[in-house]
Structure 1
């Protein structure tokens, strides 16, 4: 089954899974503009410790009907701002709270329903839709992008997010090769498949080079204490018990809701590569967690992963041909993804696991998604490396 055009999945070769529009030019009017102005002041409000009082006393009432009237870019931009407001309300003071007031819960739930996402901060709101271009005529590159909505406004926070933005953009040219690679495998075209995979390995060298730059302007100590506390979710976090009650959202019945926190594992890049390369993970709690994260991705990106998984016969094709050059190229792609996962593991160790503090809700042994991440990341890396084919 051939893949649809990238655009139908909300993907572009130039930007990958990043939003295809210029988020910094999206206008929000009326009550949405008021809420946005407050959200953009979070770096000033959060240090006071009074963020909950400010939000409860200042935010305008926004109804589901008002959200239904927004166009797609405006809804996504509003989702960015409200996601940050929600996280700030829950985590922005000395003690976390387990009830989200209706002034935040109602618009957050309505935006999530409109976009078929979950009502808290996700990778899409933290990274994919939360950046702008300094020079609109220049490409998406680390020297030409900025973070729109922030919690603390420090260089470390922005650099952490912008490294991810740059990686997503770099991945776009790799995603553009998926359909031709699948077509070459279906046609039994060894040389075309080999050449395309070699090109993909080169692109992944660039992705890993960007990832290597994380320590340049994001310090582990600052990240752990000034960035990470705000991006936790409500699931498997002892500080929140059974989760968060969304006041005023009738369909939730007043029951606590437990959602996974924002995590780079919600990015669609690596799952897409797994699908293309035929990388499989053992049926265990790690796989169950990865499967659960799928609903936290934008709808089009979910469809892309699912369609690639259905369409790709690449691994079987490479195995069947036994062609050394093709096998080497395939293994190069597998190794590039394993290397990326290895870098992720190294950063998880230095930025989180070695930081020592066990402040409420910010445990260095538990990921923002609510898992024992070091164990999971090691297993994930090793499973990927184990997929190398004999040359």
Structure 2
């Protein structure tokens, strides 16, 4: 893609109102005709645990999506049908996956996905960005005052996993606004404004790390929840993909929900000039196809602006250099802590499962290690190989990918991750 210089003061302005992730939430219910969808979605944990979900879905009426009005109703419908679809496919774990999604679910789900520009699978925008509600409408956006709209088996652990990830996104909002300020400061050659923006971005990245540290869920309960988020792309449990009855006669494959589909870190990487390995870049760019359309457009606008790092280096402003380096350091710290989360919630749980040490946690799945989760991650990517080779960087101060994912991706238990490549991105006065 060729780069161009947008009009100063206008770049990303149209997108900014759509990037404040925590500012709006969906209604909790759809219009009356769609009651069957919400009734099943609101009872998913019990239906999955009792192995009754497929029976209930098979009895659902085939409903037209034409009566859904506006983006919020379409988004809530996508949220509900996405959760139902994941439960339907993975109700019996990896050994008895559904290979066909029935017409009464597949047809409206496909139509709604087309209308929103999203794939017909649960994505990060469903699981996290759209999946929250306040207990007290006048209360704060804090975890004590939040519930998911729709959940999965795993009780409080699953609830915390969803909501902490949402709080990480919420913490990023000031950083996204500062990112827009930084872009416009570059275009207007305003180093004072740019330095201030970098300071705000650094603060937001630190707040994101702090939010992620609220993750205290039970790792065994989460490992079972994550099985329900697996993809049917590059997944040995579903080598042919999934047939959407009434839509396509042949199976199709999609990646599962992963915070590699989150816009915020893609945007930070684009602005700061963080370059990933070729393999990782291919994966991360594919994850952009799973973002809301205006999020993808936002990242493209950031990509199309003059390079920040080049501007900072050419300025010879040592204070600006330091502000840039602190921002890179804050991003490094966030990704380092992410590896702690990865190790706790996937690697150790998988190791325990292999050794038969999983305690009974009241969930539905047999006590077998989730092989495709362990090997590929929920996004259906070989992210473990990315994490094992962080020291292999390309030139120009680039870094090896960690494919940041709030649905974590595995490294080997006890293995450490070196992030020295991020240090290569620093600017030295």
Q: Deviations over 1:320-358 (max 9, x none)?
A: 112221111101111111221112222112211232246
| Alignment-derived partner of residue 386 in structure 1 | 424
Say if 1:237 and 1:361, in contact at 8 Å, map to a contact too.
no
Alignment partners' CA distance in 2, 1:7 and 1:137: 29
Q: Which of the numbers 263, 279, 287 marks the counterpart of 1:268?
A: 263
Q: CA deviation at 1:6?
A: 4.8
Q: CA deviation at 1:22?
A: 2.8
Residue 371 in structure 1 maps to residue 384 in structure 2: no
Alignment partners' CA distance in 2, 1:312 and 1:321: 14
| Alignment-derived partner of residue 83 in structure 1 | 82
Q: CA deviation at 1:390?
A: 2.0
Alignment partners' CA distance in 2, 1:385 and 1:104: 49
SS state at 1:304 partner: helix
TM, length-normalised to structure 2: 0.83
Going from structure 1 to structure 2, the CA distance change for 1:148 and 1:232 (only over 3 Å counts) comes to same
SS state at 1:11 partner: coil
Higher helix fraction: Structure 1 or Structure 2? 1
Say if 1:276 and 1:308, in contact at 8 Å, map to a contact too.
yes
Q: Deviations over 1:364-386 (max 9, x none)?
A: 12200112223324432545443
Alignment partners' CA distance in 2, 1:388 and 1:180: 21
Unaligned runs of 5+ in 1: none
Alignment partners' CA distance in 2, 1:290 and 1:373: 10
Residue 92 in structure 1 maps to residue 91 in structure 2: yes
Q: CA deviation at 1:281?
A: 2.0
Q: CA deviation at 1:153?
A: 5.6
Alignment partners' CA distance in 1, 2:31 and 2:65: 15
| Alignment-derived partner of residue 342 in structure 1 | 336
Aligned length: 376
Going from structure 1 to structure 2, the CA distance change for 1:387 and 1:328 (only over 3 Å counts) comes to same
Going from structure 1 to structure 2, the CA distance change for 1:113 and 1:384 (only over 3 Å counts) comes to farther
What are the within-5 Å matches in structure 2 for residues 191-270 of structure 1?
Answer: 191-215=192-216, 218-225=217-224, 227-249=225-247, 252=248, 254-270=249-265
Q: Deviations over 1:158-200 (max 9, x none)?
A: 1011111111111111111122212222333323222221222
What are the within-5 Å matches in structure 2 for residues 322-341 of structure 1?
Answer: 322-341=316-335
Unaligned runs of 5+ in 2: 1-5, 354-367, 391-399, 403-418
**Cα RMSD between the aligned structures?**
1.9
Say if 1:35 and 1:60, in contact at 8 Å, map to a contact too.
no
Q: Deviations over 1:259-293 (max 9, x none)?
A: 001011111110010111122223x2211111111
Going from structure 1 to structure 2, the CA distance change for 1:7 and 1:145 (only over 3 Å counts) comes to farther
Alignment partners' CA distance in 2, 1:209 and 1:178: 20
Going from structure 1 to structure 2, the CA distance change for 1:373 and 1:349 (only over 3 Å counts) comes to farther
Q: CA deviation at 1:26?
A: 4.8
Residue 318 in structure 1 maps to residue 322 in structure 2: no
Say if 1:265 and 1:293, in contact at 8 Å, map to a contact too.
yes
SS state at 2:311 partner: helix
Range with greater deviation from structure 2 (357-366 or 169-178):
357-366
Q: CA deviation at 1:144?
A: 2.4
Alignment partners' CA distance in 2, 1:376 and 1:321: 34
| Alignment-derived partner of residue 287 in structure 1 | 281
Alignment partners' CA distance in 2, 1:29 and 1:271: 35
Say if 1:239 and 1:360, in contact at 8 Å, map to a contact too.
no
Residue 168 in structure 1 maps to residue 162 in structure 2: no
Say if 2:40 and 2:56, in contact at 8 Å, map to a contact too.
no
SS state at 1:88 partner: helix
Alignment partners' CA distance in 1, 2:423 and 2:156: 34
Q: CA deviation at 1:7?
A: 5.6
Going from structure 1 to structure 2, the CA distance change for 1:231 and 1:108 (only over 3 Å counts) comes to same
TM, length-normalised to structure 1: 0.90
